[in-house]
Structure 1
Amino acid sequence: MEVTLLQRSTERLDIDLLVLPDTNLILIASVIEPLRGANRIAGSELYRWRLLTPDGAPVPTTSHIAIPAHGAFRTTTEDVPLFVLASYSWRQSATPAIKMQLSQAARHRSIVAGIESGTWLLAEASLLDGLSATVHWEDYEDFALAYPEVRAVKDRFVVDGKRLTTSGSLPTVDLMLEVIRQRQGYSLALEVSRLFRYEQPSFHADETLSAASAGLPAHDPRVTQAVHLMEEHIEQPLILARLARRVGVSARHLQDLFQQSIGAPPHVHYLALRLNTARRKVIETTASFADIAAATGFNSASAFARSYRASFSESPSETRRRLRRRIMPLPAPP
């Protein structure tokens, strides 16, 4: 995919958020909090964001809490992704000036995203012509009639070329977790979702949310049961055939269930759970890497180090050194 937002990278990603008046607080948090969580878990600034408003003044939200801005939205040649956030009062913001600014900004921005009603603003600026896009389910019919040149779909979020659109707050969390997964890998995205005890549903609107026991993106109770078994057997991992038997299905069927429910095969999810457990031990304890490897089901410290580096783009010793440098006290003045 050509979209750099959704490509593997160790570089910091900067994002501009254009927050329009009367946007929901939860919509703003749906963009920012997964990124903040990724930074916290990784122990480094993987993501940085800047909040912009039409005039640079704090923007009122539907909760009557004003959000301060880093500055005013202006047309520049910056190429960082631009996320346009809007909720109920988007029409008041769809001024000729804003539409012209969006159109001009799209010439330079690597990505322009319509978050919830931000999709309407992009359509008004003719930035979605000939592309697929999604909106909040309550607005779907009206949107499809208003913009026949846009292929309206009912997915939770849509990526079409350099345009992203989401259909609400929780689907926006879906999108941000997908960004993290694509850029930093499945393990970090899983740990961020568990940080919020968040259940990531399927990306299609005709499937409903269900209760999460541990932030698991699972709908099928057999998948949930299998994940619980994985969590209980971190030190001595169960082979797939045994795991499937415990759940009451064949190994092949369990693989299909995982793919349908969470979009990843069982071994990928299991490895992510073990590596995330290992990473917490690397950061929070002084245990040797050999002991951590044994405690998380790896045959040797070298096998653990290879998997760790493949997932987190650094070795366990590099993680420990980097994070401990950050918390070392400053030397006392002479």
Structure 2
Amino acid sequence: MPHPRGQTRRGRTEVPAERPPTRIGFLLIPDFAMIAYGCAMEPFRAANDLAGTTLYQWVHVSPDGGPVRASNGVSILADHGASQSLAQPGSLEVVFVCAGGNPAAFEDPATLAWLRAEAARGTRIGGISGGSYVLARAGLLAGYRCTAHWDYIPAMAERFPRLHLTRSLYEIDRDRCTSAGGTAALDMMLALIEAAQGRALAHAVAEWFLHTRPRAGGEPQRMSLRERYDTSHPDLLAVLDQMERSLEAPLPREDLARHAGISVRQLERLFRSHLGRTIGTHYLGLRLDHARRLLRQTPLSVLDTAMACGFVSAAHFSRSYTARFGRSPRQDRGRPTAGRPTG
């Protein structure tokens, strides 16, 4: 009976000549997303099982050495604390930082110093979802292409304007690798396994997890506007795209209609019939959602946030914000993103 290409007669996937296992550290930041962590860690376990040998070993690290609670309430025991002496220098070859919730609120100088020390030793450093934010705080993404979950990108761009920040699923740039989180972490780990162990093993791992089409790093994170709004009307899609690109300087209805080549009345009808709301209501919602991300994830003042979202009056911004979210901008500043599905 023929065997799948790249597999031995025992069903194990062939890998390059034996070498010491790659040592990986998973630094878990409180409120990390379990799905992103699982998609980052499980491919290495599967690679070991499918290869029939220990290719990868891993430890869990927390800021203080204690258990770390994920956003879903599950806690994972840590093997070490970042503020403690982890082991001899060079004991880890890769460190992945897993974070979710509101990584902008994470304040632990000892953990950031440990990450910088690992990077200085030549350890490959990775960020999963909000972990990229933590790496940026540590100053470890300067000069590298990087990405993060789309919910964090606006705040990261505001706080770290010099970052080469993309909206890709993942970025692997020399000794830095960052993932948007969620299932994108699985795609990035498959790419790393392929680079180290070969395509056959990476494909076997993908199939093991029923991931029949591993995605390239440059693929988009979000659904298209057509899928997100469940509409295929070209004029409406053109205007929705223009709105999302113009949050800081909102365009008048006349300019939006002119961009689509229709009248304001026609555009208003499109919004009501396809989205069930007016142009103004939809645009205001986009700007307020953007404001909420900036308030929670950046040190911008309420006034600066208002201006960054196209409000000329702090009072108008505060009234609109409170009406939408039931909390004032000041009450929401730095508030954890509990209940949000950020991966």
TM over 0.5: yes
Contact 1:99/1:125 (8 A) holds in 2: yes
Structure 2 runs not aligned, ≥5 long: 1-15, 224-343
1:177 is aligned, of 179, 190, 196, to 190
Cα deviation for residue 75 of structure 1 reads 5.6
Helix, strand or coil at the partner of 2:73: coil
Percent of residue pairs identical:
28
> Paired residue for 1:129?
142
1:1-334 alignment, distance < 5 Å: 10-11=18-19, 12-73=21-82, 74=84, 77-78=89-90, 79-198=92-211, 199-206=213-220
Structure 1 runs not aligned, ≥5 long: 1-7, 210-334
> 1:22 is aligned with what amino acid?
D
Residues 75 and 106 (structure 1), Cα distance of their counterparts in 2 relative to 1, 3 Å cut: farther
Contact 2:96/2:128 (8 A) holds in 1: yes
Residues 118 and 124 (structure 1), Cα distance of their counterparts in 2 relative to 1, 3 Å cut: same
If the length of structure 2 is used for normalisation, what is the TM-score? 0.56
Contact 2:171/2:217 (8 A) holds in 1: no
Give the distance between the partners of 1:90 and 1:48, measured in 2 at CA.
27
Cα deviation for residue 206 of structure 1 reads 2.8
Residues paired across the two proteins, number: 204
| Structure that is richer in helix per residue | 1
Cα RMSD after superposing both structures: 2.2
> 2:32 is aligned with what amino acid?
T
Dislocated runs of 4+, deviation >3 Å: none
Contact 1:13/1:47 (8 A) holds in 2: yes
Cα deviation for residue 109 of structure 1 reads 3.8
Cα deviation for residue 103 of structure 1 reads 1.8
> 2:26 is aligned with what amino acid?
L
Give the distance between the partners of 2:210 and 2:59, measured in 1 at CA.
26
Give the distance between the partners of 2:219 and 2:159, measured in 1 at CA.
21
Contact 1:86/1:117 (8 A) holds in 2: yes
> 2:50 is aligned with what amino acid?
I
Give the distance between the partners of 2:199 and 2:53, measured in 1 at CA.
17
Q: Could you report, residue by residue, the CA deviation over 1:88-147 in whole angstroms, capped at 9, with x for unpaired residues?
A: 132332322322222222211420111111111111111111221101112222212211
If the length of structure 1 is used for normalisation, what is the TM-score? 0.57
Contact 1:21/1:86 (8 A) holds in 2: yes
Helix, strand or coil at the partner of 1:130: coil
